[in-house]
Structure 1
């Protein structure tokens, strides 16, 4: 029994090593594009509802949007991974989630901490969320197309620019979330689209 357990553990280790050196193709341009449109729709809805400018509602609505976007990406990821990675699909999905997990956790807990202990600092969240996305992208670069570096750079620059701009007024503007995320997610979708074409060509 110990030999069987050892053999299974070694097989699992080998699969993990192979997955760590394989480009992850589970992220699809369609789902990423949809998340950008959802961000724009949320910003448009908030701009029409002045009450959405309160910190609690503003943050709550964007966190709900983020959860919906995560579900959209996860559904497409599951299908694409099964089709493109076959036997390695589960390992690679787990690895992709693991790489993005720290940034995701920071994106969830930081606004909750601000709302609880420093609601006057909620104006920082649009910029911080963009910075967290940048960190998540860079944490995943090893298994993503090399050109995804530019998407990470965009979110890094836009995050700091948003913080600088918002620091002048401390106003929770929906467009400081909607516009950067529309641009950033569209850029990611374009990169993934052309990367998929290159991979298909190699196949």
Structure 2
């Protein structure tokens, strides 16, 4: 490798490191907050009309799976559109750095959810807690590029997801509040954290 190629490779590495540790502003708090409010509406509907919207664990789980998948897609599209509007040369590397965390987590969540819903519907109670924990995992992994306070919603998502998982396993079934309550709080908390423009990411 020539000196020029080595220099280019080093510059690329530096840009990648900067992108991973710089505040990523592509996530729209409005989109995350709307998912939280929509989740609240779903919880209320499942509690008030359980026969229609929460007739079984399978129905509860697939409802939340579709809502979270749609929400993830909306947030990703908003992030991509925001990046395309930016003239900052760091915007694209920062988006790539963020997507390296989000896309694998989404793929794992979709694969596990699809397999359980298709082949093991008797254990669909495992899914909402698992999905909530995956949200917490992504939030923790994004700590270097998001406001420091993201650690609190991340901790909430991990802990509430784990508690929900054990509660559902203990009862052998899901309830709307057990499945959706932590998701509502988690999304609203994340939206609040990323909406504060004055917060500085770790190391910033």
Report the CA distance between 1:89 and its aligned residue: 1.9
Q: Is the contact made by 2:61 and 2:125 (CA closer than 8 Å) also made in structure 1?
A: no
Aligned length: 197
- Return the offset for 1:5: 7.7
Does structure 1 retain, via aligned residues, the 8 Å contact 2:32–2:187? yes
TM-score of the pair, normalised by structure 2: 0.81
Q: Give the equivalent residue in structure 2 for 1:28.
A: 28
Tell me which residue corresponds to 1:91. 93
Distance 2:16 2:116 in 1: 38
Distance 1:136 1:198 in 2: 19
Q: Which has the higher helix share?
A: 1
Is the CA contact 1:102–1:136 (under 8 Å) kept in the aligned structure 2? no
What's 1:164 paired with? 166
Aligned to 2:60: 58
Moved more, 77-86 or 120-129: 77-86
Match of 1:38 in 2: 38
Aligned twin of 1:155: 157
Do structure 1's residue 176 and structure 2's residue 182 form an aligned pair?
A: no
Structure 1: segments with no counterpart, 5+ residues: none
Which blocks of at least 5 consecutive residues in structure 2 are unaligned? none
User: How much is the aligned-residue C-alpha RMSD, in angstroms?
Assistant: 2.7
Q: 2:127 aligns to what?
A: 125
